[in-house]
């Protein structure tokens, strides 16, 4: 049978940097699909490559290997015209809402920008009406339309960025740490808004975050990244309940539990940069309590199954 | 109580329209030696300003009244000379962003030695030995002494800042969001370090917005909203049955891993700017329990149990949980 | 409209109370500009009118600032000279920014060999000591105020290119520029709508300061014979023509000199004050 084309398809994406001691891979062998209507999270700590992945997929950074397909059409490496057309189909929300908006443009103008770029035939007045309608949909009232970004709070600004990302009715929204800069109570508001939007339109999210607790709120599948590679992938609930990769387990155990009854003990020794990533074999082996000799020789591969861990000696 | 930190009736005000607006309004807080007190609040709560006040570092535009005592010495209104003898020696502070708190032009060792020799008359070699001891207590290798800040990772920088803060063995350590900018695995280690420091005798005021952090390492909790402490007490009690609607709202809107996809409980509205606070209780516009009396003056402090206090006219009774769980 | 202007006036007065010195200088500058604008209608004597019978008269009722060696009324000369100086300064800044801003924008935004080319070109100009290049160019172009204006503008545009370029480099990597790229905006549009407007604030400050310096530089050029030529009335020229007599007849050099000094001084203080009150606002927002 004909499978419907996935909204986003990423194949073997890689990004290199030249450093003093040779080439460093910020991203390597990233492959996944987001079927229409589904959402996927990428989690990891700083330097794991998740933000690089977001920027590479969005075409904001050049890639060194692999390809990105949007609704079946090749996006990476395509001509400027093709890329511009395909950009109508995805929007992007960034971590810092204040710097994601031009400080000298009123927020309705920022939201109307995609309309201006892709549909020059539309009159400015119509653009303004459409932008204002979109702003209302994300919960901002009339009093904000003419405001400048500097006059609004972080939570409000993130709604503006969201409105701009959605105004062309895209199929995919890439969310790069959208709530990291926001307070807990505002974060809840924004996440609820994202949930609501997803349920009322055919929308998929690629959700990048370092906060594992947010994954299940927005997405069904999760990919855990470490040192540029995906080390575990699968349905979020399963991965968190029964992690296969030791790093996933370390991440889960490090989250402070908001239940004082369950006192956790945390390790106290510093993770030195040397221990952050090894050069040969499995990158995690220097930190891994289960590392064995073969871990230094072979790079574990992530299997193609729906639930997989890139580990030679997975847990369970 | 002579040792430790004792804040009483602290009010920090900024000039506004010919009058004064209080960013921090009559706060009371104590931190005893060997205990970690978690001060929870979001932006606009006044927690960072309170922290700065404990070291006499409030901006000149801010007027302070009330009392802050560190090991029996009064901070509010103290002269720069007095403050200089106390800072680093009796009370120290670590900040959210270690990259900007350390001077990029000097090695870690130089900066720590500088603090030590400011307060103690020691030869350079003796001071270096003390600095090494401080580094070890903070979990850094000796080699860190000769490193510049840009050569260290985020976690190491935070430890370096902690080493600098504890070099003179202060009684009180004020930690303003020390792990917010760090990865969760690094955060876990820093929290463990703070716990060790407290066990060795230090009193720590841990300021954070992360309820998990507070639940795991603090002995007592104080919740701050828009300039006032609305609830305080032991973590187990507060987290299992919060008395103040704001605390409960915070707990319910904190995402927890493993609870699947569900709509998060969100407190409607936003924190008011302290210059434009509603009269009476600052939280009443967002509160599900608010009544008419809430508009007239702030609620008095009520003791719920021996350990716990709440500032609310309609505190939530234990057992009466809210509709959402 | 009137309500808006009234609120501006009130805001200005409130601000003046806090910054008395700056406000005083701004008022002084404003007066000079006003005088310059209204000069032809003030019923003054013709500043170029030569009258040997009235030469070298001290300040008095008939001639408030006295007369010079050719009997020309100095007060008139100062007032009309203001028109010339202010206009020329405006011209210098306008031309320098008109060339410098696009150059800096293109160099900063495009980068690569274009950046290299433009910057090396600027380096050539920047290598000269500040007054030497205008003098040289003036000498090449010949005397005359218009030539002097071009000479100074050409000497100064590289500064603006530099300033704009360095701001553009920072702005280029801002998240809202990345956003614009993510939307699909083409580079020219990004440069003009997002990068340029946010790169102009340092230019505004520099241009305002340069206004004062332009007055000084043109006066200096006129003083050495490179700028204005008679019958143009210009402050520097007035000081120059008083060279041989000013020791005995102090007013011939004093008043034009004072005019130069005060205008440049007021303009500089005013700009400093404006910049200071702009900066904290920007810092607060950020």
| pLDDT tens string C201-243 | 888 888 888 888 898 888 888 888 888 887 788 888 888 888 8
User: Given pLDDT bands bounded at 50, 70 and 90, which one contains residue C285?
Assistant: very low
Provide the pLDDT for residue A273: 66
Is residue C35 in a domain? no
Contact C179 A96 (CB under 8 A): no
CA distances to A108, A235, B248, B252 from B262, rounded to whole Å, are 31, 16, 18, 12
Is residue A298 in a domain? no
What are B207's strand-pairing partners?
B39, B176
Q: What are the CB-based long-range contacts (under 8 Å, 24+) for B150-154?
A: B150/B104, B152/B108, B153/A273, B153/A276, B154/A46, B154/B98, B154/B99, B154/B181, B154/B182, B154/B183, B154/B186
Give the structural domain span for A116: 103-169
Judge whether residue C40 has pLDDT over 90.
no
Contact A102 C198 (CB under 8 A): yes
Percent of chain B predicted with pLDDT > 90: 47
Judge whether residue B314 has pLDDT over 80.
yes
Number of domains in chain C: 1
Name the residue among C74, C76, C73, C82 with its Cα closest to residue C30: C82
The residue with greater pLDDT, A54 or B255, is: A54
Name the residue among C111, C104, C214, C215 with its Cα closest to residue C158: C104
The segment with the largest mean pLDDT, out of A246-250, A274-278, C13-17, C55-59, is A246-250
Provide the pLDDT for residue A27: 92
Range B21-42 average pLDDT: 92
Q: Is A275 on the interface with B (CB under 8 A)?
A: no
Nearest CB neighbour to C175, from listed A91, A96, A150: A96
Render pLDDT for A165-204 as a digit per residue (tens, 0 to 9).
999 999 999 999 999 888 888 899 999 999 999 999 899 9
Contact A254 B249 (CB under 8 A): no
Number of H helices, E strands in chain C: 11, 0
Provide the pLDDT for residue B324: 34
Judge whether residue B235 has pLDDT over 60.
yes
Chain B residues with CB-CB distance to A241 below 8 A: 258
Judge whether residue A113 has pLDDT over 90.
yes
Q: Report yes or no: B204 and B166 within 8 Å, Cβ to Cβ.
A: no
Judge whether residue A38 has pLDDT over 60.
yes
Is residue A301 in a domain? no
Contact C185 A59 (CB under 8 A): no
Average pLDDT of chain C is 86
**Closest CA of chain A from C8, distance in Å:** 20
Structure tokens at C240: 């120059």
**For B159, nearest residue in chain A (alpha carbons):** A270
Nearest CB neighbour to A270, from listed B42, B189, B213: B189
Is residue C41 in a domain? no
Chain B residues with CB-CB distance to A212 below 8 A: 184, 257
Is residue A115 in a domain? yes
Is residue C33 in a domain? no
**Closest CA of chain A from C11, distance in Å:** 20
Is residue C46 in a domain? no
Provide the pLDDT for residue B321: 46
Is residue A214 in a domain? no
Here the ipTM equals: 0.85
**For A61, nearest residue in chain C (alpha carbons):** C178
Is residue A312 in a domain? no
Distance in angstroms (rounded) separating the CA atoms of residues C105 and C87: 27
CA distances to A15, A38, A58, A167, A173 from A67, rounded to whole Å, are 11, 20, 12, 26, 18
**Closest CA of chain A from B255, distance in Å:** 6
Distance in angstroms (rounded) separating the CA atoms of residues A103 and A113: 14
Q: Report yes or no: A113 and C180 within 8 Å, Cβ to Cβ.
A: yes
Number of domains in chain A: 1
Range C114-137 average pLDDT: 88
Contact A258 B236 (CB under 8 A): no
Nearest CB neighbour to A212, from listed B250, B257, B263: B257
Chain C residues with CB-CB distance to A92 below 8 A: 179, 182
Is residue C34 in a domain? no
Render pLDDT for B172-199 as a digit per residue (tens, 0 to 9).
999 999 988 888 988 999 999 999 999 9
Q: Is A180 on the interface with C (CB under 8 A)?
A: no
Chains with ≥3 CB–CB distances under 8 Å to B: A
Is residue A61 in a domain? no
Is residue A98 in a domain? no
Residues 6 or more apart whose CB falls under 8 angstroms from that of C32 comprise C82, C86, C262, C263, C266
Nearest CB neighbour to C179, from listed A59, A80, A94: A94
Percent of chain B predicted with pLDDT > 70: 98
User: Given pLDDT bands bounded at 50, 70 and 90, which one contains residue C196?
Assistant: very high
Range B103-124 average pLDDT: 91
Q: For tokens 């508009």, what's the residue?
A: B295
User: Given pLDDT bands bounded at 50, 70 and 90, which one contains residue C282?
Assistant: very low
Nearest CB neighbour to A192, from listed B211, B216, B263: B263
Give φ, ψ of C42 to 5 degrees: -90, 0
The residue with greater pLDDT, C54 or A271, is: C54
Secondary structure (DSSP) of B94-159: E-S-HHHHS-TTS-HHHHHHHHHHHHS---HHHHHHHHHHHHHHTT--GGGGG--GGGS-HHHHHH
State the sign of the Cα–Cα–Cα–Cα dihedral A205, A209, A215, A221.
positive
For an interface test with C, give the residue of A86, A89, A97, A103 to mutate (most C CBs within 10 A). A103
Contact A113 C184 (CB under 8 A): no
Among the ranges given (A84-88, A208-212, B277-281, C96-100), the one the predictor scored with the smallest mean pLDDT:
B277-281
Provide the pLDDT for residue A168: 93
Judge whether residue C284 has pLDDT over 50.
no
Average pLDDT of chain B is 88
Judge whether residue C113 has pLDDT over 90.
yes
**For B221, nearest residue in chain A (alpha carbons):** A260
Distance in angstroms (rounded) separating the CA atoms of residues A127 and A134: 11
Nearest CB neighbour to B212, from listed A45, A155, A258: A258
Is residue A7 in a domain? no
Contact C184 A87 (CB under 8 A): yes
**Closest CA of chain A from B43, distance in Å:** 7
Provide the pLDDT for residue C193: 92
Give the structural domain span for C119: 76-285
Range B75-82 average pLDDT: 90
Q: Is A99 on the interface with C (CB under 8 A)?
A: yes
Chain A residues with CB-CB distance to B153 below 8 A: 273, 276
Name the residue among A190, A41, A153 with its Cα closest to residue B264: A190
CA distances to A153, A215, C162 from C109, rounded to whole Å, are 30, 38, 13
Is residue C29 in a domain? no
Any contact of A with C, at least 3 CB pairs below 8 A? yes
CATH (domain of C110): 1.10.3720.10
User: Given pLDDT bands bounded at 50, 70 and 90, which one contains residue C283?
Assistant: very low
CA distances to A62, C104, C155, C157, C158 from C121, rounded to whole Å, are 31, 12, 12, 11, 8
Provide the pLDDT for residue B319: 61
Judge whether residue A285 has pLDDT over 90.
no
DSSP helix/strand/coil, A289? coil
Give φ, ψ of B257 to 5 degrees: -70, 140
Judge whether residue B323 has pLDDT over 80.
no
Q: Is A103 on the interface with C (CB under 8 A)?
A: yes
Provide the pLDDT for residue A274: 66
Residues 6 or more apart whose CB falls under 8 angstroms from that of C191 comprise C105, C109
Percent of chain A predicted with pLDDT > 70: 97
Look up residue B294 and give its DSSP letter: G
Q: Is A256 on the interface with B (CB under 8 A)?
A: yes
Angle between the N-to-C axes of helices C112-126 and C145-172, in degrees from 0 to 180, rounded to the nearest 10: 140
Range A216-233 average pLDDT: 93
């Amino acid at each position: 049978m004909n499978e419907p084309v996935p909204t986003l398809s990423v194949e073997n994406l890689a990004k290199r940097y030249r450093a003093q001691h040779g080439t460093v891979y910020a991203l390597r062998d990233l492959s996944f699909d987001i079927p229409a209507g589904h959402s996927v999270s990428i989690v990891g700590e700083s330097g794991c490559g998740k933000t690089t992945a977001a920027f590479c997929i969005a075409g904001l950074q050049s890639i060194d290997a692999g390809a990105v397909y949007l609704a079946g059409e090749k996006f990476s490496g395509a001509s400027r015209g093709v890329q511009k057309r395909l950009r109508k189909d995805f929007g992007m929300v960034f971590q810092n809402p204040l710097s994601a908006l031009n400080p000298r443009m009123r927020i309705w103008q920022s939201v109307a920008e995609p309309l201006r770029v892709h549909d020059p035939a539309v009159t400015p007045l119509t653009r303004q009406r459409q932008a204002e309608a979109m702003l209302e949909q994300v919960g901002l009232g009339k009093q904000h339309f003419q405001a400048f970004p500097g006059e609004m709070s972080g939570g409000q600004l993130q709604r503006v960025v969201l409105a701009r990302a959605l105004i062309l009715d895209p199929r995919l929204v890439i969310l790069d740490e959208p709530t990291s800069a926001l307070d807990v109570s505002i974060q809840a508001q924004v996440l609820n808004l994202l949930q609501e939007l997803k349920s009322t339109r055919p929308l998929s999210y690629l959700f990048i975050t370092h906060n594992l607790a947010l994954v299940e709120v927005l997405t069904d599948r999760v990919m855990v990244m470490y040192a540029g590679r995906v080390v575990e992938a699968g349905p979020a609930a399963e991965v968190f309940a029964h992690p296969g990769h030791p790093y996933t387990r370390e991440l889960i155990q490090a989250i402070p539990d908001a239940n004082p009854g369950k006192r956790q003990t945390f390790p106290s020794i510093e993770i030195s940069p040397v221990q952050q990533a090894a050069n040969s074999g499995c990158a995690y082996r220097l930190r891994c309590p289960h590392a064995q000799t073969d871990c230094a020789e072979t790079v574990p591969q992530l299997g193609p199954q729906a639930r997989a861990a890139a580990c030679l000696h997975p847990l369970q | 109580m002579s040792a430790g930190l004792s804040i009483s009736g602290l009010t920090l005000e900024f000039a506004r329209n010919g009058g004064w607006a209080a960013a921090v309004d009559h706060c009371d807080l104590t931190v005893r030696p060997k205990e970690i007190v978690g001060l929870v609040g979001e932006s606009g709560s006044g927690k960072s300003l309170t922290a700065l006040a404990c070291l006499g570092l409030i901006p000149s535009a801010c007027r302070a009244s009330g009392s802050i005592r560190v090991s029996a010495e009064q901070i509010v209104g103290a002269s720069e000379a007095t403050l200089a003898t106390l800072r680093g020696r009796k009370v120290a502070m670590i900040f959210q962003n270690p990259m900007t708190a350390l001077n990029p032009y000097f090695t870690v060792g130089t900066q720590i030695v500088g603090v030590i020799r400011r307060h103690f008359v020691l030869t350079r070699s003796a001071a270096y030995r003390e600095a090494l001891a401080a580094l070890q207590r903070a979990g850094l290798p000796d080699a860190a002494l000769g490193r510049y800040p840009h050569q260290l990772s985020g976690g190491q920088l935070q430890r370096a800042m902690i080493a600098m803060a504890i070099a003179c063995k202060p009684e009180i350590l004020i930690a303003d969001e020390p792990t917010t900018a760090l990865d969760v695995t690094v955060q876990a280690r820093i929290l463990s370090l703070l716990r060790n420091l407290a066990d060795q005798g230090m009193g720590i005021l841990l300021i954070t917005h992360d309820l998990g952090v507070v639940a795991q390492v603090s002995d007592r909790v104080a919740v701050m909203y828009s300039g006032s402490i609305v609830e305080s007490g032991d973590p187990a009690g507060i987290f299992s049955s919060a008395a103040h609607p704001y605390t409960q709202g915070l707990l319910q809107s904190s995402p927890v891993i493993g609870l699947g996809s569900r709509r998060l409980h969100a407190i409607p509205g936003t924190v008011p700017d302290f210059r434009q606070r509603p009269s009476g209780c600052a939280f009443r516009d967002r509160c599900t329990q608010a009544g008419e009396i809430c508009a007239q003056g702030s609620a008095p402090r009520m003791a719920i149990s021996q350990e716990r206090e709440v500032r609310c006219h309609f505190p939530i009774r234990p057992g009466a949980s809210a509709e959402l769980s | 409209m009137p309500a808006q202007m009234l609120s501006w006036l009130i805001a200005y007065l409130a601000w003046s109370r806090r910054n008395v010195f700056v406000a005083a200088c701004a008022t002084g500058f404003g007066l000079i500009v006003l005088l310059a604008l209204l000069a032809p209608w003030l019923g003054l004597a013709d500043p170029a009118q030569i009258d040997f019978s009235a030469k070298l008269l001290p300040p008095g009722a008939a001639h408030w600032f006295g007369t010079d060696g050719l009997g020309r009324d100095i007060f008139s000369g100062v007032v009309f000279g203001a028109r010339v100086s202010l206009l020329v300064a405006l011209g210098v800044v306008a031309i320098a920014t008109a060339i410098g801003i696009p150059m800096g924008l293109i160099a900063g935004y495009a980068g690569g060999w274009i950046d290299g080319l433009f910057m090396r070109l600027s380096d050539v100009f920047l290598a000269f000591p500040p007054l030497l290049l205008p003098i040289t160019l003036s000498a090449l172009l010949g005397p005359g105020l218009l030539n002097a204006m071009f000479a100074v503008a050409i000497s100064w545009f590289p500064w603006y290119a530099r300033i704009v370029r360095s701001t553009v480099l920072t702005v280029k990597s801002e998240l809202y520029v990345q956003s614009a790229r993510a939307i699909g905006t083409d580079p020219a549009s990004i440069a003009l709508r997002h990068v340029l407007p946010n790169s102009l604030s340092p230019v505004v400050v520099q241009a305002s300061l340069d206004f004062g310096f332009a007055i000084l530089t043109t006066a200096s050029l006129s003083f050495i014979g490179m700028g204005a030529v008679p019958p143009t009335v210009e402050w520097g020229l007035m000081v120059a023509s008083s060279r041989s007599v000013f020791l005995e007849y102090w007013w011939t050099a004093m008043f034009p000199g004072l005019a130069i000094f005060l205008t440049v001084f007021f303009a500089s203080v005013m700009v400093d004050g404006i910049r200071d009150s702009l900066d904290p606002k920007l810092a607060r927002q950020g």
